[in-house]
Amino acid sequence: MPTALTSWADGPAESAIVAFVERVTTPGGSDFVEPADRVAVFDNDGTLWCEKPMPIQLDFIIQRLADLAAADPVLRTRQPWQAAGEHDFAWFGAAMVEHYRGDDTNLTLLMNAVTAAFDTLSVEDYQTRVLEFFAHAAHPTLHRPYRGCGYRPMVELLGYLGDRGFTTYIASGGDRDFMRPIAGTLYGVPPERIIGSAVGLTYRDRGEDSDLVYKAAMDFFDEGPEKPIRIWSRIGRRPILAVGNSNGDLPMLSYTSAQHRPTLPILVAHDDTEREFAYTAGAEEVLARAQRLGWTMVSMKNDWLDIFAPA
């Protein structure tokens, strides 16, 4: 993993990061923070890797639902299996738009289908499926495999912080166990430092043998106000650095920022139509809060020399 900020342009974002890290790591300084308390949390979708035109996990899910549709004629005529089988991505996009407008009908159909699709699968078998997906699946427009869709400057930042005694965690709205098998390779972040949404688990004791299998129900969604809750539950410390890109990260950023010691809340702005995607939908509130409180803004267009590592 690279550990120098070589993909960062000289500018206010890089300066703010370097200044903050020096401030909290200089022994004897008034803002010195013990290594054990140098906790940094990173959102994943849209912060560490590309989330457009759809979250990578959604592609994984659609492929699984399409497989189920192919094997079962009854499912093939019902949503969301039909949309998955026919690669009707618009159906999934519409379900999300309806959700933001307050209508969860299709999102509920989808979530029920998703948890049913992995019901009674062991955590190890799920891990295998995730690894198979990342071995082959590619981004639909960026001409690179999904495993190459991590943002190079962010991978550098994770390494830079790790080198300076920080412990980095991923605090994602995505499924914890979807990220775990590949976060080591992509980001150098091990499974015990992945926080995310969780599907319920059942412990099966079969005498000499025992394992853990997924339930057909969510345990919790790690989004919005749930993020600081899950960060505390997992770490038991309040982060001093947090990076996000959407309204779902506002509570995590605010929880980090609201302390009587130096903190660094960072907001990534998607403003690079050419090299990635430009969008602010779903980030309106957090952009306003960041501006009001003077949080550090990262412009992908201006602050990042490269967005991805060479293919």
Taking the least distance from each CB to a second copy, the nearer of 7 and 197 is 197
Q: Whole-number minimum distance, CB 124 to a second copy, in Å?
A: 9
In whole angstroms, give the CA distance from residue 10 to residue 302. Answer: 9
Contacts for 16-25 with beta carbons within 8 Å, 24 or more apart? Answer: 16/264, 16/266, 16/296, 17/157, 17/160, 17/264, 17/266, 17/296, 20/241, 20/262, 20/264, 21/160, 21/161, 21/164, 21/166, 23/262, 24/240, 24/262, 25/164, 25/165
Site for a second copy in 47-86 (CB under 8 A): none
DSSP string, 7-74: TBPSSHHHHHHHHHHHHHHSTT-TT---GGG-EEEE--BTTTB---SS-HHHHHHHHHHHHHHHH-HH
Taking the least distance from each CB to a second copy, the nearer of 122 and 302 is 122
Q: What are phi and psi of 91, to 5 degrees?
A: -60, -40
Q: Whole-number minimum distance, CB 122 to a second copy, in Å?
A: 11
Angle between helices 123-136 and 176-187 (to 10 degrees): 50
How far out from the chain centre does Cα 216 lie?
Answer: 22
Cis peptide before 53 (omega within 30 of 0): yes
Taking the least distance from each CB to a second copy, the nearer of 36 and 71 is 36
Q: Which of 63, 82, 115, 254 binds a second copy (CB under 8 A)?
A: 254
Taking the least distance from each CB to a second copy, the nearer of 178 and 304 is 178
Q: Whole-number minimum distance, CB 295 to a second copy, in Å?
A: 12
Taking the least distance from each CB to a second copy, the nearer of 120 and 273 is 120
Site string for a second copy, 2-21 (x = CB under 8 A): --------------------
Site for a second copy in 175-214 (CB under 8 A): 176-177, 180, 190-192, 194, 198, 201-203, 205, 208-212
Q: Which residues contact 285 (CB under 8 A, 6 or more apart)?
A: 247, 250
Q: At which residue do the structure tokens 């492929």 appear?
A: 63
Size of the site for a second copy (CB under 8 A): 36
- Amino acid at position 98, single letter: E
Taking the least distance from each CB to a second copy, the nearer of 209 and 274 is 209
Q: Whole-number minimum distance, CB 257 to a second copy, in Å?
A: 8
Query: Judged by CB under 8 A, does residue 225 bind a second copy?
Result: yes
Over its C-alpha atoms, the chain yields an Rg (Å, rounded) of 20
Q: Whole-number minimum distance, CB 129 to a second copy, in Å?
A: 16
Query: Judged by CB under 8 A, does residue 228 bind a second copy?
Result: yes
Query: Judged by CB under 8 A, does residue 38 bind a second copy?
Result: no
Q: Which of 118, 255, 295, 308 binds a second copy (CB under 8 A)?
A: 255
Q: Which of 94, 138, 235, 309 binds a second copy (CB under 8 A)?
A: 235
In whole angstroms, give the CA distance from residue 196 to residue 149. Answer: 19
Q: Whole-number minimum distance, CB 289 to a second copy, in Å?
A: 9
Q: Give the interface segment with a second copy, choosing from 51-59, 129-137, 147-155, 233-241 (CB under 8 A).
A: 233-241
Q: What are phi and psi of 69, to 5 degrees?
A: -65, -40
Binding site for a second copy (CB under 8 A): 36, 123, 167, 176-177, 180, 190-192, 194, 198, 201-203, 205, 208-212, 219, 225-226, 228-229, 232-237, 251, 254-255, 258, 293
